[in-house]
């Protein structure tokens, strides 16, 4: 009777081990995107809560399942040793027999069989196992709770919460986009837009903003009639208002507010009297976060401040949207001439052109830790302000300054050069 009980309990633990290991394998096979799709499709069902738990608290779920599997293996080890001892062998011989037996059990029922069951149809396998899992899941949490709390305490003490794998998620999204384009489900332009949305979260506001040197602003004491002329000449619909110097921004004035004041006969009033409250953001803020913030607050323009509180630049919601859909050109806008191809095969580039556009154009990579523009790259290479005619060799590209003054680099000519003749150093003319 005791032998039958031992064998029956051993078989029961093996079945439980296969069950938990199959659940774990199914979750491992599914990506976060696939799991979220399952949650969306089955959220209203009885086991939707457990699916949501797998997505939102995957570490606690996997710890509970994995730890329970290890406890089952320990239990199986004890039972196998006990069965071996029933054959009238010594404890040492029982351990020697139990070792290969447990290696076979773990290899077959913890690794191979669960993997085969989950690999072909992981989402289907998970959904089929959820009804039983939901009955025992609270018990699994109780078993793993002390270990989970110890991990939480250790992370809080060290300040080392684990990353959630954003880079892997981005690569997976890109893979989905590529497959969608190949299958004709997603147009190429739509694929670029989706990828731009994903990348926007990785970009800092400083990489997208209009730099301080290009900000059009008016002093707060400027008469409304002069401010109206300045905003019309600038072709913007909103410009900052400052007192004494640009770092002292008092607000933002809108074209429509200027027109209303002018029609009301207030053309000689200071523009500061109709300025609206300015919105300030740090230059290190994520562009994706700022877009959501501006959408929720219905803000169209923000002043970007550096670590010292000075004005570093200006950013509009149009700037952020252009990062997703590309340049938004109005009927009155001049043709974008940041990068203009020349008849000789070279490219005439504005100093304010983003360095990433050069990377995309010439299929190269430029380390850009502390600059975002072509002008910043030239100054970084030369370690000073360049003069007209100076050149910089970088990889298989030659940068030549064609327009500059002591304060800024206005225009640069870039041309590909044979690889054999390139070197990463500046060559003054």
Residues 97 and 133 in one domain: yes
Q: What is the pLDDT of residues 353-385, one digit of tens each?
A: 888 888 888 888 887 667 888 888 998 888 888
Residues 14 and 148 in one domain: yes
Residues 6 and 148 in one domain: yes
Extract the tokens encoding 131. 């009804």
Extract the tokens encoding 2. 């005791």
Q: What is the pLDDT of residues 225-245, one digit of tens each?
A: 999 999 998 888 899 999 999
Residue 321 sits in a domain whose CATH number is: 3.10.580.10
111 within some domain: yes
> CA 234, CA 308: separation in Å to the nearest integer?
28
Residues 175 and 153 in one domain: no
333 within some domain: no
Residues spanned by the domain of 34: 2-158
**Residue 2 pLDDT:** 73
Extract the tokens encoding 11. 């078989």
**How many residues are recorded in the chain?**
429
**Residue 422 pLDDT:** 44
Q: Which of 43-47, 134-138, 405-409 has the highest mean pLDDT?
A: 134-138
Q: What is the pLDDT of residues 299-332, one digit of tens each?
A: 899 999 988 889 999 999 888 887 777 655 554 4
108 within some domain: yes
Per the structure, the count of domains in the chain is 4
Helix (H) or strand (E) holding 421: none
Extract the tokens encoding 254. 């809108």
Q: Is the Cβ–Cβ distance between 214 and 319 less than 8 Å?
A: no
330 within some domain: no
Residues 23 and 77 in one domain: yes
> CA 320, CA 266: separation in Å to the nearest integer?
34
**Residue 333 pLDDT:** 47
Of 32-36, 52-56, 298-302, 336-340, the poorest mean pLDDT is in: 336-340
Residues 116 and 51 in one domain: yes
Give DSSP secondary structure letters for 190-206: HHHHHHHHHHHTTSBHH
pTM (2 d.p.):
0.49
334 within some domain: no
332 within some domain: no
Residues 28 and 142 in one domain: yes
């Amino acid at each position: 009777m005791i032998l039958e009980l031992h064998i029956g309990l051993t078989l029961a633990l093996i079945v439980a081990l296969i069950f938990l290991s199959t659940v774990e394998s199914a979750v491992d096979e599914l990506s976060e995107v696939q799991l979220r799709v399952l949650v969306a499709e089955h959220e209203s069902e009885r086991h939707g809560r457990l699916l949501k738990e797998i997505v939102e608290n995957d570490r606690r779920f996997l710890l509970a399942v994995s730890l329970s599997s290890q406890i089952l293996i320990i239990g199986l080890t004890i039972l196998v040793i006990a069965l071996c001892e029933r054959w009238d062998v010594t404890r040492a011989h029982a351990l020697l027999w139990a070792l290969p037996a447990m290696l076979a059990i773990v290899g077959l029922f913890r690794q191979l069989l669960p993997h085969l069951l989950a690999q072909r149809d992981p989402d289907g396998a998970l959904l089929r196992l959820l009804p039983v899992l939901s009955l025992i899941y609270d018990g699994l949490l109780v078993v793993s709770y002390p270990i989970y709390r110890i991990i939480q305490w250790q992370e809080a003490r060290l300040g080392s919460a684990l990353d959630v794998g954003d880079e892997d998620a981005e690569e997976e999204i890109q893979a989905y986009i590529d497959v969608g384009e190949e299958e004709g489900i997603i147009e190429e332009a739509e694929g670029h837009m989706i990828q731009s949305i994903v990348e926007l979260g990785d970009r800092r506001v400083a990489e997208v903003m209009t730099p301080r040197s290009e900000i059009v602003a008016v002093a707060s004491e400027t008469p409304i009639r002069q401010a109206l002329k300045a905003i019309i000449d600038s072709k913007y619909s909103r410009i900052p208002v400052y007192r004494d110097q640009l770092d002292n921004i008092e607000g933002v004035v809108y074209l429509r507010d200027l027109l209303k004041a002018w029609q009301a006969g207030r053309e000689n009033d200071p523009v500061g009297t109709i300025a609206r409250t300015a919105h300030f953001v740090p230059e290190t803020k994520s562009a994706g976060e700022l877009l959501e913030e501006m959408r929720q607050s219905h803000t169209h323009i923000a002043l970007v401040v550096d670590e010292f509180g000075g004005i570093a630049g200006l950013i509009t919601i149009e700037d952020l949207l252009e990062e997703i859909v590309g340049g938004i050109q109005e009927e009155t806008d001049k043709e974008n001439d940041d990068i203009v191809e020349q008849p000789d095969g070279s490219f005439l580039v504005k100093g304010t052109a983003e360095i990433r556009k050069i990377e995309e154009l010439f299929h190269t990579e430029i380390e850009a830790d502390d600059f975002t523009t072509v002008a910043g790259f030239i100054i970084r290479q030369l370690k000073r302000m360049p003069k007209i005619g100076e050149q910089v060799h970088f990889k298989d590209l030659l940068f030549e300054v064609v327009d500059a003054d002591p304060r800024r680099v206005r225009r640069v000519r870039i041309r590909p050069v044979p690889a054999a003749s390139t070197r990463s150093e500046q060559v003054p003319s």
